[in-house]
């Protein structure tokens, strides 16, 4: 380290210079390491021109200066990150987005489980009913997606509705008429993915607002069922889940709200007696829910070929069970991108359907037991009399995350949900959206010296194209523009020139169509 002169003398010289003519010693815009380092050097030269002159890389003073610059860049980065996490548009952490949305009463959606129709077959003729014990309602199979174990729970269907009231008990099935020889077939049975869990306990008398902390994580959205019992251990009715318990209509409403943490472990919140029923201090509770969910449960038809025990005419026999339809509806927890896009619109909608945007947002965030919404849009067809015809164009998301036509059950369930919130003057029709498949052939040009890395470069380009063409990033009526795709490809530093060989300029589509990538071919050309 090289010191000479006196520090005091240099400060006195600086103090005697008018403020307007003093050198700019502090760069408040410096945030990165290099800029901070250079700013510190300039500061040292201005303030200590004679006292320190050791500005060589090997000098000990430079080491300390660079350490300060490093710490400054790290602190600046963390300050920027903290600031970004306070705003929905810039937040990147799930916990931050979740908390910001909860401020406006919007919950991020958790994992959804798949469901499929099943057929149960008896090896002998049965004239009466069969009973499947609670312990035997669990069906396991191997996931084609990851090779792990998939667990499903067996439910029966009554008048077209899945009977989930007797969640933890036995179920009684009746044979299909006219199908008793040589085997007996039992239909109107479904399986829903997820392991059935039961939590029980008693309320704390000291709680003004009663809560229940569930024991398991990865809880399937919408699967929680709550019952309370009195001192005589008799059921006094089921509670109904609502988005916000404090929006209940009165003190007699048996409702609860579910608050999820980042692991989708749930806390159940009841009313306070003024808004929503408050369970008695002497009550016990039973909570049934499923754990699991996700796209891995969307198995194909006939994947399940299991046997289950059942009581047939008081004799124990093995029953064959097969899924007669593919399992649909399984979805992973809501992505940050989806939540940031639709949550503000959901808040703006205020739980009613008035504008076309309201209908579109409702459909795009709809949770169905018969499939997973892929894309939706709304359009006014015409006006007649006192009513408007509103077409809701929908597509489901398949197990491979591509789009497909929605099933009849999915569309019926969506229409039923919309009918409860629509304007009385609106007639709503659920319509199949159209998929425009696209084959892409693109050529990238790279420097010849990068020839040995062309496989890695192609992989980078493929990732860029797949991200740009991902159905989650595209909307109905969104044209395909070659220049926009090339802009994404040019983010790969090694690419010098990019062309789309089979499309010129743009591809225009209708309002009820959406583009979906079918085949992708990437060619590489070398530049000398």
State pLDDT tens for residues 23-37. 566 777 788 888 988
**Which of 200-204, 313-317, 467-471, 514-518 is predicted most confidently?**
514-518
**pLDDT averaged over every residue in the chain:** 82
Confirm if 376 and 395 have CB atoms less than 8 A apart.
Answer: yes
**What mean pLDDT do residues 287-300 have?**
86
Confidence at 517, pLDDT banded by 50, 70, 90: very high
- The structure tokens listed for 25 are 């010693």
Q: Which of 476, 383, 382 has the alpha carbon at shortest distance from 436?
A: 476
Q: Is the peptide bond before 182 cis (omega within 30 degrees of 0)?
A: yes
Q: How confident is the model at residue 414 (pLDDT cuts 50, 70, 90)?
A: very high
How many CB atoms neighbour CB 156 within 10 A? 19
Quick one: pLDDT band at residue 232, thresholds 50, 70, 90?
Answer: very low
**8 Å CB contact between 375 and 475:** yes
With contact defined as beta carbons under 8 Å apart, do 322 and 119 qualify?
yes
Residues 6+ apart with CB under 8 A from 85: 91, 92, 93, 96
Q: Is the pLDDT of residue 2 over 50?
A: no
Give the DSSP H/E element, type plus range, for residue 66.
helix 60-84
Checking if the pLDDT of 233 tops 50, the result is: no
pLDDT over 90, % of the chain = 18
Ranking 43-52, 259-268, 329-338 by mean pLDDT, the lowest is 43-52
How far is residue 139's CA from residue 153's CA, in Å, rounded to a whole number?
6
Do the beta carbons of residue 248 and residue 241 sit within 8 Å?
A: no
The angle formed by the CA atoms of residues 273, 274 and 279, to the nearest 5 degrees, is 10
**Is residue 105 predicted with pLDDT exceeding 80?**
no
The pLDDT, as a whole number, for residue 265 is 82
* pLDDT, position 3: 46
Report whether pLDDT(482) > 70. Answer: yes
Compute the half-sphere exposure of residue 60: CA atoms within 13 Å on the CB side of its CA.
Answer: 3
In terms of average pLDDT, the best of 53-57, 126-130, 145-149, 522-526 is 522-526
* Residue 258: pLDDT over 50: yes
pLDDT in tens, 464-474: 999 899 888 88
**For residue 299, what pLDDT band results from cuts at 50, 70 and 90?**
confident
Spatial CA neighbour of 75 closest among 132, 8, 12, 30 = 30
Residues 6+ apart with CB under 8 A from 15: none
Question: What SS3 class is residue 45?
Answer: helix
pLDDT at residue 166 above 80?
no
138-142, 340-344, 492-496, range with greatest mean pLDDT: 492-496
Please list the alpha-helical segments (H only) found in 306-389.
336-349, 356-364
Phi, psi of 244 (to 5 degrees): -145, 115
Please give the span between the terminal C-alpha atoms of the chain, in angstroms, as a whole number. 50
Please provide the DSSP assignment of 95-127 as one string: HHHHHHHHTTT-PPP--B--EEEEEEEESS--S
Q: What is the mean predicted confidence (pLDDT) over 433-439?
A: 92
pLDDT exceeds cutoff 70 at 7: no
Q: What is the pLDDT of residue 521?
A: 93
Per-residue HEC secondary structure of 136-170 comes to HCEEEEECCCCCCEEEEEEEEEECCEECCCCCCCC
Distance, C-alpha 136 to centroid of its chain: 32
Asked if pLDDT for residue 390 goes beyond 70, the answer is yes
Q: In terms of residues, how long is the chain?
A: 528
Q: How confident is the model at residue 391 (pLDDT cuts 50, 70, 90)?
A: very high
Asked if residue 1 has pLDDT above 50, the reply is no
What six digits make up the tokens of 63?
A: 């080491």
pLDDT of residue 109: 80
The SS3 of residue 294 is coil
Spell out the residues 6+ positions from residue 418 whose beta carbon is closer than 8 angstroms to its own.
353, 359, 362, 363, 392, 428
Q: What is the pLDDT of residue 393?
A: 95
Judged against a pLDDT cut of 50, whether residue 254 lies above it is answered with yes
């Amino acid at each position: 380290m090289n010191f000479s002169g006196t520090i005091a003398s240099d400060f006195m010289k600086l103090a005697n210079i008018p403020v307007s003519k003093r050198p700019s010693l502090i760069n408040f815009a410096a945030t990165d390491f290099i800029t901070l380092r250079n700013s510190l050097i300039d500061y040292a030269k201005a303030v200590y021109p004679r006292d320190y002159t050791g500005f060589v890389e090997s000098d000990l003073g430079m080491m300390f200066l660079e350490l300060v610059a490093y710490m400054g860049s790290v602190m600046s980065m963390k300050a920027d990150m903290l600031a970004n996490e306070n705003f929905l548009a810039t937040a990147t952490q799930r916990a931050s987005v979740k908390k910001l949305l909860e401020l406006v009463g919007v919950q991020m959606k958790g994992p959804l489980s798949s469901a499929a129709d099943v057929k149960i077959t008896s090896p002998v003729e049965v004239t009466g009913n069969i009973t499947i014990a609670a312990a035997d309602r669990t069906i396991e199979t191997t996931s084609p997606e990851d090779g792990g174990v998939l667990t499903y729970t067996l439910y029966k269907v009554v008048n077209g509705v899945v009977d989930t009231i007797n969640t933890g008990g036995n179920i009684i099935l009746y044979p299909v008429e006219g199908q008793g020889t040589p085997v007996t077939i039992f239909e109107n049975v479904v399986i829903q993915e997820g392991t059935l869990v039961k939590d029980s306990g008693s309320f704390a008398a000291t709680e003004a607002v009663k809560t229940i902390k569930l024991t398991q994580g990865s809880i399937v959205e919408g699967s929680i069922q709550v019952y309370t019992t009195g001192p005589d251990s008799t059921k006094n009715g089921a509670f109904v889940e609502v988005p916000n318990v404090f929006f209940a209509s009165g003190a007699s409403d048996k409702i609860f709200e579910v608050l999820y943490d980042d692991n989708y472990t749930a806390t159940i919140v009841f009313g306070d007696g003024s808004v929503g029923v408050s369970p008695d201090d002497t009550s016990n509770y039973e909570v049934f829910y499923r754990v699991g969910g996700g796209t891995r449960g969307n198995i194909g038809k006939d994947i399940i070929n299991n046997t289950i025990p059942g009581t047939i005419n008081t004799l124990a026999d093995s029953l064959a069970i097969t899924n007669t339809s593919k399992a649909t509806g399984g979805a992973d927890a809501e992505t940050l991108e989806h939540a940031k896009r639709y949550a503000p619109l959901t808040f703006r909608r205020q739980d009613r359907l008035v504008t076309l945007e309201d209908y579109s947002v409702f459909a795009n965030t709809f949770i169905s037991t018969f499939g997973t919404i892929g894309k939706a849009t709304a359009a006014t067809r015409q006006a007649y009399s006192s009513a408007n015809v509103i077409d809701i164009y929908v597509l489901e998301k398949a197990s491979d995350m591509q789009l497909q036509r929605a099933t009849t059950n999915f569309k019926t369930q969506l229409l039923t949900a919309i009918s409860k919130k629509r304007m009385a003057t609106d007639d709503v029709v659920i319509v199949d959206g159209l998929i425009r498949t696209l084959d892409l052939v693109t050529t990238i040009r790279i420097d010849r010296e990068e020839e040995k890395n062309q496989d890695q470069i192609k992989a980078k380009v493929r990732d860029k194209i797949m991200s740009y063409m991902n159905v989650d990033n595209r909307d109905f009526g969104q044209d395909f523009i070659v220049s926009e795709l090339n802009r994404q490809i040019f983010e790969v530093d090694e690419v010098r020139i990019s062309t789309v060989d089979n499309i010129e300029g743009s591809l225009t589509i209708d309002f009820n169509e959406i583009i979906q990538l079918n085949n992708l071919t990437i060619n590489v050309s070398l530049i000398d």
